[in-house]
């Protein structure tokens, strides 16, 4: 009987220690999250890393660390500097996180991270094939139109214009407020000297987004071109 | 908490048409579970009174209810012998015991409870030789040999009907057998209706009861064994007086009485434990009453499970609560900021009507979270 109670005591002690560990990890995660929210990303990285040292599979700590790296990279993005390494670091954390959390809650952020990484990679070397990254990004989040848009641009650059056009049409159908898709699709027609179609697309975008200066401008440019063509008898 | 929860050491005492009776232990005490047969009804008023109060000389009910559509009672186990197993009793003992039973019935009657089934099996002599009345409140005439004539007509038990039964009980204790014996229920009813014609004195004389004793008993027969309730003694108090007179004359003084009583106690002692139909072998409680017994090991397991559950809930609380509203929320906010679509793009400073769109495709990408993607 005494032995049984000793075993019971041990078990309770182990459980209590486990709960204490959870509580410690939780404190670090909480602090990391606070830091993340107020923009103290370095401190956020520190706290989340500390939590992961104790519990490498802690989902929140891992997600927090990935978000902290993401925020650091995004901050640098605004300064127009090289961000590839930073995005690689963030994406690596998301990749590890995906082994811990398969709930789908992190997929949108992971998808955006992949988009950024693809774009940062292209910025460093435009010949690098980033399509697998973008396909992975789209697979994770089919509503990530930034990845669709970049993929279409790359395809157009590779001469696969019709595929690119289809993607742009898909984007504006699904997200009529996505200005870049109108601009880029119109641009494809413009480069084909199909001014009429270019005007169609840009004016459609202008109608959907009347405050978008670029769309307004290129709609006017296309109109002027059409007028000039009429006057010159080309139309 | 039910005493049945900790039931152990169950023994089947009796199995009959009316009920199955089990003895079991719980919390260091012995109890009886009487599970009535289908259709047998018990007077809820009687049960209620006996559940609430304590009456000297009457059994104490601890629990009542219905299982599988059949009524049951749980009451204290009286360590002793059913009165018919020790009959015939010495007349003084029979009178003394009947007086005790009468007082108990009188107490119950004041609470509106009438026994309704007085017979030798429902009076138990304890180790101390004192009678204890059990099984109050049955609905129906009860044991036919002891039931008053009006009970055969479907009338409820009354003080008068119990008085008649007491007369029959007294005879049985003295003679060692019931006064009435018949094959069929109707025959019992007919015999009860002719109770005035019964001659217990002659029958007892034939069994060797002395003339003096018979003379002392005569007023009792006249006051009890009457077919018409009106012809019986007025109430239990009147009977008590008659019994007192008879006993005083019969007991033969303190020394004789003590000696008689001692012999009677020895007789009771020898009969204790003979009321078990499976000779004391352990039986199981009916399935309807089966409960999970908490053995020592189970208690430890339950305690352990409870602790684990509490700790798990705490851990889950700690782990899941922030997940719903901290890191995930921060991530959601960051993503929303990243993906905010541009609604206004600053116009290029000097548009050229026929200029070609910028070749650098990357520059035409909206930068999530900024408003300067289009240049």
What would the pLDDT profile of A143-160 be if each residue is shown by its tens digit? 999 999 999 999 999 999
CA-closest candidate to residue B285, choices B77, B19, B8, B39: B8
The tokens describing A230, both together, are: 């009429």
Residues of chain B in contact with residue A178, where contact means CB-CB under 8 angstroms, are: 341, 366
Per CB-CB distance under 8 Å, the chain B contacts of A15 are 307-308, 311
The answer to whether A200 contacts chain B (CB < 8 Å) is no
Contacts (Cβ under 8 Å, ≥6 apart) of B14 = B20, B21, B275, B277
Interface touch A178/B368, C-beta < 8 Å: no
Distance CA B347, CA A216 (A): 8
Take residue B165 and report the two structure tokens written for it: 């039964």
Looking at residue B296, its pLDDT comes to: 67
pTM across the whole model: 0.51
- DSSP class of residue A104 equals S
Q: Cβ atoms within 10 A of the Cβ of A222, count? A: 25
| pLDDT of amino acid A40 | 94
Judged against a pLDDT cut of 60, whether residue B312 lies above it is answered with yes
Using a CB-CB distance cutoff of 8 angstroms, which residues of chain A are in contact with residue B367? Answer: 77-78
CB count within 10 Å of CB B107 equals 17
Contacts of B164 (CB under 8 A, 6+ apart): B147, B148, B149, B192, B195, B224, B225, B226, B229, B232
Q: Across-strand partners of B75?
A: B32, B61
Is there a contact between B364 and A216 if contact means CB atoms under 8 Å apart? no
Which of A147, A69, A71 has the alpha carbon at shortest distance from A115? A147
Q: What is the largest CA-CA distance in chain A?
A: 106
Contact A84, A117 (CB under 8 A): yes
- Angle at the Cα of B257 from the Cα atoms of B253 and B262, rounded to 5 degrees: 160
**CB-based burial, B262-276: b 16+ in 10 Å, e otherwise:** eebbebbeebbeebe
Of chain A, the end-to-end C-alpha distance in Å amounts to: 101
Please give the distance of CA A197 from its chain centroid, rounded to a whole number: 30
Q: Do B322 and A153 touch (CB under 8 A)?
A: no
Question: Among partner residues A109, A187, A218, which is closest to B335 by beta-carbon distance?
Answer: A109
CB A140 within 8 A of CB A132: no
CA distance A60 to chain B (A): 6
Using a CB-CB cut-off of 8 Å, the residues of chain B touching A112 are 335, 338-339, 368
Is residue B345 less than 8 Å (CB to CB) from chain A? yes
Indicate the length of chain A as a whole number. 235
Query: Which of B345, B354, B356 to probe by mutation at the A interface, max A CB count within 10 Å?
Result: B345
- Supply the Cα-derived Rg of chain A in whole angstroms: 25
Residues in contact with B288: Cβ distance below 8 Å, sequence separation at least 6, in sequence order: B35, B67, B68
Task: Please provide the average confidence, as pLDDT, over all residues in chain B.
Answer: 82
Q: What is the pLDDT of residues B159-179, one digit of tens each?
A: 999 999 999 999 999 999 999
Q: What span, in angstroms and rounded, lies between the C-alpha atoms of B233 and B223?
A: 5
Which tens digits make up the pLDDT trace of B328-369? 999 998 888 888 754 444 443 333 333 344 333 333 444 444
Provide the shortest C-alpha distance from residue A110 to chain B (in Å). Answer: 10
**pLDDT tens per residue across span B116-157:** 889 998 999 988 999 999 988 777 778 899 999 999 988 889
The complex scores an ipTM of 0.82
Asked whether the beta carbons of residue A29 and residue B304 sit closer than 8 angstroms, the reply is: no
**CA–CA distance, A225 with A219 (Å, rounded to integer):** 10
Closest Cβ opposite residue B308 in set A15, A184, A224: A15
Contact B330 A33 (CB under 8 A): yes
How distant is the Cα of A11 from the closest Cα of chain B, in angstroms?
9
* A141-153 CB burial, b ≥16 within 10 A, e <16: beebbbbbbbbbb
Question: What confidence category does residue B270 fall into, taking pLDDT thresholds of 50, 70 and 90?
Answer: confident
A134 touches chain B (CB under 8 A): no
* Angstroms from B284 CA to nearest CA on chain A: 28
The predicted pLDDT at position B362 comes to 39
Q: Rounded CA gap, B8 and B27, in Å?
A: 9
Using the predicted structure, report yes or no on whether residue B304 has a pLDDT greater than 70.
Answer: yes
Query: Is some CB atom of chain B closer than 8 A to the CB atom of A8?
Result: yes
| A23 in contact with B, Cβ within 8 Å | yes
Q: Is the pLDDT of residue A73 over 90?
A: yes
pLDDT at B293: 54
Q: How far is B43 from chain A (nearest CA, A)?
A: 49
Question: Hey, is the C-beta of B322 within 8 angstroms of any chain A C-beta?
Answer: yes
Cα–Cα distance for residue pair B195/B180, rounded to 1 Å: 9
Searching chain A, which residue's CA lies closest to the CA of residue B301? A8
- Looking at residue B67, its pLDDT comes to 86
* Residue A98, φ and ψ in degrees, nearest 5: -65, -20
CA distance A152 to A156: 6
Q: Within its chain, how far is the Cα of B271 from the centroid?
A: 25
Q: Would you state the pLDDT for residue B45?
A: 83
How far is residue A115's CA from residue B130's CA, in Å, rounded to a whole number?
A: 96
For chain A, give the mean pLDDT.
90
Average pLDDT over residues B192-214: 91
């Amino acid at each position: 009987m005494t032995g049984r109670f000793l075993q019971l005591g041990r078990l309770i002690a182990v459980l209590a220690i486990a709960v204490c560990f959870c509580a410690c990890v939780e404190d670090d995660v909480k602090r990391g999250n606070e830091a993340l929210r107020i923009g103290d990303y370095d401190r956020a990285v520190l706290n989340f890393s500390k939590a992961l040292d104790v519990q490498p599979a802690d989902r929140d700590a891992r997600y927090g660390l990935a978000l902290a790296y993401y925020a650091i990279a995004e901050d640098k993005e605004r300064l127009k500097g090289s961000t590839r390494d930073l995005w690689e670091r963030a994406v690596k954390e998301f990749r590890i996180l995906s082994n811990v959390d398969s709930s789908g809650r992190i997929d949108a952020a992971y998808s955006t991270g992949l988009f950024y990484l693809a774009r940062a990679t292209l910025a460093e070397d435009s010949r690098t094939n980033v399509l697998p990254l973008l396909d992975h990004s789209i697979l994770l989040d089919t509503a990530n139109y930034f990845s669709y848009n970049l993929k279409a641009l790359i395809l157009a650059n590779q001469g696969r214009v019709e595929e690119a056009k289809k993607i742009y049409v898909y984007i504006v159908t699904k997200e009529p407020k996505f200005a870049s898709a109108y601009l880029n699709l119109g641009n494809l027609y413009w480069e084909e000297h199909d001014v009429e179609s270019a005007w169609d697309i840009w004016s459609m975008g202008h109608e959907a987004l009347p405050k978008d200066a670029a769309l307004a401008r290129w709609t006017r440019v296309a109109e002027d071109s059409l007028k000039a063509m009429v006057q010159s008898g080309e139309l | 908490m039910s005493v049945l929860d900790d039931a152990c050491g169950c023994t089947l005492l009796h199995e009959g048409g009316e009920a199955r009776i089990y003895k079991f232990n719980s919390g260091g005490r012995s109890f009886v579970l009487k599970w009535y047969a289908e259709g047998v009804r018990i007077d809820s008023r009687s049960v209620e009174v006996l559940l609430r109060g304590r009456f000297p000389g009457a059994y104490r009910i601890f629990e009542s209810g219905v299982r599988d559509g059949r009524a049951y009672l749980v009451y204290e186990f009286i360590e002793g012998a059913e009165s018919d197993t020790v009959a015939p009793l010495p007349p003084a003992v029979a009178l003394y015991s009947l007086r005790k039973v009468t007082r108990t019935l009188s107490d119950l009657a004041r609470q509106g409870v009438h026994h309704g089934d007085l017979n030798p099996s429902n009076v138990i002599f304890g180790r101390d030789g004192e009678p204890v009345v059990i099984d109050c409140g049955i609905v129906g005439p009860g044991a036919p040999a002891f039931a008053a004539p009006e009970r055969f007509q479907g009338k409820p038990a009354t003080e008068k009907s119990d008085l008649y039964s007491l007369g029959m009980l007294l005879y049985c204790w003295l003679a060692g057998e019931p006064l009435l014996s018949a094959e069929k229920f109707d025959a019992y009813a007919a015999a009860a209706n002719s109770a005035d014609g019964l001659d217990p004195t002659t029958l007892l004389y034939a069994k060797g009861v002395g003339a003096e004793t018979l003379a002392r008993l005569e007023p009792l027969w006249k006051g009890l064994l009457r077919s018409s309730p009106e012809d019986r003694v007025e109430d239990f108090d009147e009977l008590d007086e008659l019994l007192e007179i008879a006993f005083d004359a019969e007991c033969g003084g303190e020394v004789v009485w003590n000696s008689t009583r001692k012999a009677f106690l020895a007789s009771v002692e020898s009969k204790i434990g003979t009321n078990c139909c499976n000779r004391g072998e352990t039986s199981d409680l009916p399935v309807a009453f089966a409960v999970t017994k908490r053995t020592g090991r189970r208690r430890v397991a339950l305690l352990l499970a409870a602790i684990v559950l509490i700790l798990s809930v705490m851990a889950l609380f700690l782990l899941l609560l922030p997940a719903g509203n901290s890191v995930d929320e921060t991530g959601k906010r960051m993503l929303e900021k990243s993906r905010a679509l541009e609604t206004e793009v600053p116009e290029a400073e000097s548009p050229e009507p026929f200029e070609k769109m910028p070749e650098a495709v990357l520059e035409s990408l909206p930068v999530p979270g900024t408003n300067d993607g289009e240049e």
